[in-house]
Amino acid sequence: MTSPSLELERKLLERYDRVICLDEVGRGSLAGPVAVGAAVISAATASAIPKGLRDSKQIIESKRDDIAELSKAWVQNNVGFASSDFIESDGISRALAKAAVAAFEPLLSGKTIILLDGSQNWLKGIDIEVVMQVKADRDCAGVSAAALIAKVSRDQLMREYHMEYPLYGWASNKGYASESHIQAIQSLGATRHHRHSWLTKILAEGQALF
């Protein structure tokens, strides 16, 4: 497994007071919100990385909560959300931007740059410099922390939604397109937490089955 470092964040700190690292969770989910995690790397935190921190997809679920708590103690952090209703009305790109602004605005202070995972800048239009880095969630410890904190927060929300709609299996699939989730949508229909416009093909196939 690849362990992240602070190499890029430290380089950015040569020119900025703080680096706000961002990553999203839930972009491809069929249900629930999209979440964006923010983690601040500054001179005060650009040191020891929490043990076990890495790309959240490489951390087994039973250890995520503990490592997320270590990450929260290490950096200033926040999570922003955009609901499935907002995704439906405004689209996923604007939803990502809305969640990101909600995440990073409370953390702004001094000369700041945003480090964004990926190659697509879905933060166009904000008055803050943004640098993008492919695989930053794997290679940059600040982004790894942001992603993990966002994932744990969103997963908890999906478990709460599961209590309301237990037949969709959100406690385990977290709203993503697992086989059992697709079958539940086809047999039971969509809920208020689903992204309805994303389900057209699934629902059409379900109607053909019955």
Residue where the block lists tokens 């929300």: 157
Answer yes or no: is 181 within a domain.
Answer: no
Residue 208 pLDDT grade (very low, low, confident, very high; cuts 50, 70, 90): very low
Answer yes or no: is 205 within a domain.
Answer: no
Whether residue 206 has pLDDT greater than 70: no
Answer yes or no: is 191 within a domain.
Answer: no
Whole-number Å distance between alpha carbons of 201 and 203: 6
Answer yes or no: is 78 within a domain.
Answer: yes
Give every CB contact of residue 193 below 8 A, 6+ residues apart in sequence.
31, 32, 84, 161, 165, 175
Residue range 53-105, pLDDT digits in tens: 999 989 999 999 999 999 999 999 999 999 999 999 999 999 999 999 999 99
Q: What CATH number does the domain containing 149 carry? A: 3.30.420.10
Answer yes or no: is 174 within a domain.
Answer: no
Looking at the 3D structure of the chain, how many domains does it have?
Answer: 1
The pLDDT value recorded for residue 46 is 76
As a whole number of angstroms, the longest Cα–Cα distance in the chain is 62
Helix residue spans in 111-199 (DSSP H): 136-139, 141-164, 170-173, 179-188
Structural domain boundaries, residue 12: 7-165
pTM of this structure:
0.94
Answer yes or no: is 30 within a domain.
Answer: yes
Residue 134, Cβ density class (10 Å: 0-12 exposed, 13-18 middle, ≥19 buried)? exposed
Answer yes or no: is 176 within a domain.
Answer: no
Residue range 30-48, pLDDT digits in tens: 999 999 999 999 998 877 8
Whether residue 209 has pLDDT greater than 60: no
Whole-number Å distance between alpha carbons of 3 and 203: 41
Mean pLDDT of 188-208: 87
Answer yes or no: is 210 within a domain.
Answer: no
The pLDDT value recorded for residue 1 is 63
